Amino acid sequence: MAYENNNFGERTMHKGNWTCADCGASITELPFKPNPERENELKCRDCHRKSAPKRSGGRGGSFGGPREMFKGDWECSKCNTAITELPFKPNPERTDNLMCRDCFKASRA
């Protein structure tokens, strides 16, 4: 059962103390390291699931499993590379903070 873990990393849970932007529930762990500037946009597991535009059936409930990619047309804020897909749905107001895969990886290192 090898799923492809894309380059955004392993499924390590990051512990913390955040609040869901939608329902106000507290979030104590996340399958990714949140950008500190975007902590106020985080969603709890339930809201995250609800907001997913489509679910490609199967593997119900495995939060942090194979990620859906969102297609679009953005630009990396660091190196200006074109970004055509992201593992999350970016806030339209924050697209000038997006990073390409490489810069994203570099920023977590």
- Residues of this chain that bind Zn ion (CB under 5 A): 20, 22-23, 25, 44, 47, 76, 78-79, 81, 100, 103
The smaller minimum CB distance to Zn ion, of residues 81 and 95, is found at 81
What distances in angstroms separate CA 2 from CA 5, 64, 65, 100, one per listed residue?
A: 8, 14, 11, 25
Taking the complex as a whole, the smallest distance from the CB of residue 60 to Zn ion amounts, in Å, to 18
Q: How many residues are recorded in the chain?
A: 109
Taking the complex as a whole, the smallest distance from the CB of residue 99 to Zn ion amounts, in Å, to 5
The smaller minimum CB distance to Zn ion, of residues 2 and 109, is found at 109
Taking the complex as a whole, the smallest distance from the CB of residue 28 to Zn ion amounts, in Å, to 13
Taking the complex as a whole, the smallest distance from the CB of residue 78 to Zn ion amounts, in Å, to 4
Q: Work out the burial of residue 34: count CB atoms within 10 Å of its CB; fewer than 13 is exposed, 13-18 middle, 19 or more buried.
A: middle
The smaller minimum CB distance to Zn ion, of residues 14 and 105, is found at 105
The smaller minimum CB distance to Zn ion, of residues 5 and 51, is found at 51
Place of tokens 């970004």: 83
- How many whole angstroms separate alpha carbon 48 and alpha carbon 63? 9
Asked if residues 48 and 31 have their Cβ atoms less than 8 Å apart, the reply is no
